Structure 1
């Protein structure tokens, strides 16, 4: 009786072997390699979009903090990054630019808002990313800045 049960267990296979599963997975991975190519330009577009969104959120945060906290907050631009500063303390956030990113801040490298949320020096900042140009416009008076894509 025991031999019959063991023989039934060994001969009655209802699954796949490890070798069969590895062959199927390798075929699927090769097919995915050809079907979904990772495009470098798509990655750069996503990086640019995310960086512009992060810059917008940081500026809105600085504008909001300037109205609620007594300390002064600012954003200072450099050639390869920008920093968020609180008064004279060290930067509490540093954001590096994505590759191919250029910001033209025309020797006005710091953005500061007064205690009412208005920018102290209204201006336009140009951002160049490959073939695309963006303008960050800070209008005079209390209000929100906006970003134009050219």
Structure 2
């Protein structure tokens, strides 16, 4: 009597299962990339708003004017010609400050001296960060 010892999957069955997994994965990648870009944008704006609060607190502590200077590739927080903090923008992001502002100045009370907005262009969306007059930190509008 010959016993059949089929204790596994055939090569065809494994290839079919692998093909299904590859198909499912390849269909989900665009959604993951979109979510990743949204998380990156939220993280950057949270950091920028924290840095604005940091600049305000430095201005109130030192009683000097503090500037958040925007350049094409990064922003810098400066107090009396001393760079306190510098951060690069994410890749493929552009900051258009030509119409309203390229420096955010804080007085000794932490107030924004020159209100305005910054146009921020990402590969997926456009944002505008508004800095109102007074002690507000600014907010982001899509």
Same fold (TM > 0.5): yes
Structure exhibiting the larger radius of gyration computed from Cα positions: 1
Number of matched residues? 118
CA distance in 2, matches of 1:112, 1:55: 15
Q: Does the CA contact (< 8 Å) of 2:59 and 2:107 recur in 1?
A: yes
Higher-RCO chain (CA-CA 8 Å, sequence separation at least 6): 2
| CA distance in structure 2 between the aligned counterparts of 1:79 and 1:101, rounded to whole angstroms | 9
Q: Which runs of 5 or more residues in structure 2 are unaligned?
A: 1-17
Cα drift, residue 55 of structure 1: 0.6
Report the TM-score, using the length of structure 2 for normalisation.
Answer: 0.70
Q: Is the counterpart of residue 100 in structure 1 residue 92 in structure 2?
A: yes
- Extract structure 1 runs of 4+ deviating beyond 4 A: 33-38
CA distance 1:130–1:57, change in 2 (3 Å): same
Cα drift, residue 97 of structure 1: 1.0
Change (3 A) 1:71 1:99: same
Root mean square deviation, CA, Å: 2.4
Matched residues in 1 for 2:52 and 2:135: separation?
Answer: 14
Structure-2 residue corresponding to 1:148: 141
Q: TM-score, normalised by structure 1?
A: 0.67
1:114 aligns to what? 107
Structure 1 unmatched runs, 5+: 1-29
